[in-house]
Amino acid sequence: MNIGIILAAGEGTRMKSRHPKVLHEISGKPLLSYVLDAAQNADISRNVVIVGHGKDEVVEKISGENIIFEEQPVHQGTPYGTGYAVMQGISHVADEDNVIVLCGDTPLITSTTLTELMEYHDSQNNNATVLTTELADPTGYGRIVRKDEGSLEEIVEHKDASPAQRGIKEINSGIYCFSGKELKIGLKGIDNDNSQNEYYLTDVISVLVQGGYKVGAFLIEDSTQIHGINSRVQLAQADDIIRERINTGHMENGVTLINPKDTYIEPKVRIGKDTIVYPGAVLEGETVIGEDCIIRGTTRIVDSVIGNGVSIESTLIEKSKVDDGCKIGPYAHLRPDSDLGKNVKIGNFVEIKKSTLGDNSKASHLSYVGDALVGSGVNIGCGVVFVNYDGEKKYKSIIGDNAFIGSNSNLVAPVRVEDWGYVAAGSTITENVGEGELSIARARQVNKAGWVEKKGLKKHK
Ligand code: UD1
Ligand code: CA
């Protein structure tokens, strides 16, 4: 069996955060979740997560089948090192298992690389295989020290390295594949006699080399995958890398991104062919967007389902459904549980909340539609307000098909306008409007002839 041991107990001091490092997010997803997803997609069926600092928060936020949490005791505020962390998970390992050690702060590793690492490990009959890469600037990472004939000798931490060793560009990714039995042997052989007084997992490598075991390195070219996150700067760099991966994936699937560097799309978002996304778009959560859509301006769409051929400009859409052919914005806001039928038009400065609008209905300007069931072919004029709240409770409005709500009207809920009901502009509607009726609910206009003259207002000019 393949078992993952994921190290996530460290404090992450350099993040300067109240939250554990592995819960910081890139593209809306915690670092640790990236690592777990990569492991699961590489057929690593059980994953033991070693938690310590902020463990309650980690356990609360991260859950899933086949994820086991093991606690690493913290001694006088400091953990005891990566080797010590792995020891906390070793009881889950059988001698014949392959153990893949991963770091919760190295989220960019792909499942393909993990699969290749395990295949390499098996094909070479290795007892331990280290995933390595070459970096132009290897500062901070453990260096891969090889013997003259090229085989792996040891890993030396940056802080413990000699000037000559610091010149080595090949670094330890912190990701390894071990055979279960030899991992246990190696862990028994390490101590904490180093600059940080920690049990280094890296020392398992030299222990095994000295014991005559077969140890190898699997070098990958794509060094972005081992980008470790210790600071906010590295967090932002990782976000850039992830964004490029996600956005490239969409473009390869037939989506046009006008300026991919300025388009934020979270990992779970799906987008159909021939949709065009202009810069500034923020697409989040479980959002699904259909084909042939155009998304412009500073549009943010969260957990929503958008049909085909929809055009959206500078709009916020949250947890809502928008059917084919709708035109939305600029500057509209669909709040949660809005559900628009086909070819609905929602124009400038319109807010929709928890409301359903049938096919071909329109609210083109400056309206608030809340807690309403609106039929199809309805026209909601400029400035209409669905008055749904009396300060204590919310009430529903129901508007039939082909109704016409004149500009600047208030519909005081609960209220009903039947099919083909017309409401005159400026009305405050408190009672139901029957089918085909026109309702006028405003004071009758009075014109007073000669009033300005009588008041003597003209002489002031
Ligand atoms: C480690 C490696 C280094 C490698 C680098 C890659 C060691 C000694 N060094 O260094 O060779 O180049 O990763 O990113 O292994 N952790 C625990 N418990 C602990 C200590 C750490 O769970 O007691 C976890 C951390 O939360 C983190 C991971 O292990 O997720 C790596 O620890 P970190 O302190 O960041 O190690 P590096 O100094 O980066
Ligand atoms: Ca690290």
Tokens read off for 220? 């990958």
Question: What is the Cβ-side half-sphere exposure of residue 90, based on CA atoms within 13 angstroms?
Answer: 20
| Distance of alpha carbon 457 from the chain centroid | 64
- State the ligand closest to the CA atom of 51: 1
- Cis omega (within 30 of 0) for bond into 330: yes
85 Cβ inside 6 Å of ligand 1: yes
Ligand 1 pocket test: pick from 82, 152, 237 the residue with the most ligand atoms within 8 Å of its Cβ: 82
Tokens read off for 379? 């026209």
5 Cβ inside 6 Å of ligand 1: no
- State the ligand closest to the CA atom of 171: 1
354/38 Cα distance (integer angstroms): 37
Q: How far is the CA of 231 from the centre of ligand 2 (A)?
A: 9
Q: Per CATH, is 232-439 categorized as 3.90.190.20?
A: no
Q: How far is the CA of 105 from the centre of ligand 2 (A)?
A: 6
Q: Which pLDDT value is given to residue 77?
A: 65
Ligand 1 atom with least separation from CA of 53: 26
Strand 152-156 versus strand 143-146 pairing type: antiparallel
Q: Which listed residue (121, 158, 365, 460) is catalytic?
A: 365
Tokens read off for 251? 């473009």
Query: What are the domain boundaries of the chain?
Result: 2-226, 232-439
Q: How far is the CA of 129 from the centre of ligand 2 (A)?
A: 19
Helix ranges restricted to H, 180-262 = 180-188, 203-210, 232-252
Q: Is 167 exposed, middle or buried (0-12, 13-18, 19+ CB in 10 A)?
A: exposed
In the predicted model, residues of the chain with pLDDT beneath 70 are 77, 460
Q: Which residue's CA lies nearest to atom 1 of ligand 1?
A: 174
80 Cβ inside 6 Å of ligand 1: yes
76: left (phi over 0), alpha (psi -120 to 50) or beta: left
Cβ neighbours for 20, distance < 8 A, ≥ 6 positions apart: 8, 11, 12, 53, 54, 55, 57, 58
If DSSP codes are grouped into helix, strand and coil, which group holds residue 276?
Answer: strand
Q: How far is the CA of 124 from the centre of ligand 2 (A)?
A: 28
Q: Which pLDDT value is given to residue 195?
A: 86
Q: Which pLDDT value is given to residue 66?
A: 84
Task: Give residue for tokens 């009305």.
Answer: 427
Q: Which residue's CA lies nearest to atom 36 of ligand 1?
A: 82
What is this structure's pTM?
0.90
Q: Per CATH, is 2-226 categorized as 3.90.550.10?
A: yes
Active site residue 92: no
- Cis omega (within 30 of 0) for bond into 138: no
Q: Which residue's CA lies nearest to atom 34 of ligand 1?
A: 10
5/52 Cα distance (integer angstroms): 14
Identity of the residue numbered 281: A
Q: Which pLDDT value is given to residue 105?
A: 95
* DSSP classification of residue 358: -
Q: Which pLDDT value is given to residue 167?
A: 97
315/331 Cα distance (integer angstroms): 5
Handedness of CA 26, 31, 36, 39 (dihedral sign): positive
Q: How far is the CA of 455 from the centre of ligand 1 (A)?
A: 86
Q: Which pLDDT value is given to residue 64?
A: 80
DSSP code per residue over 2-36: EEEEEEE----GGG--SS-GGG-EETTEEHHHHHH
Could you give the dihedral angle defined by the CA atoms of residues 136, 137, 138 and 144, in that order, rounded to the nearest 10 degrees? 20
Q: Which pLDDT value is given to residue 459?
A: 81
- Nearest Cα neighbor of 155 from 137, 176, 179 is 176
Count other Cβ atoms within 10 Å, centred on residue 150.
8
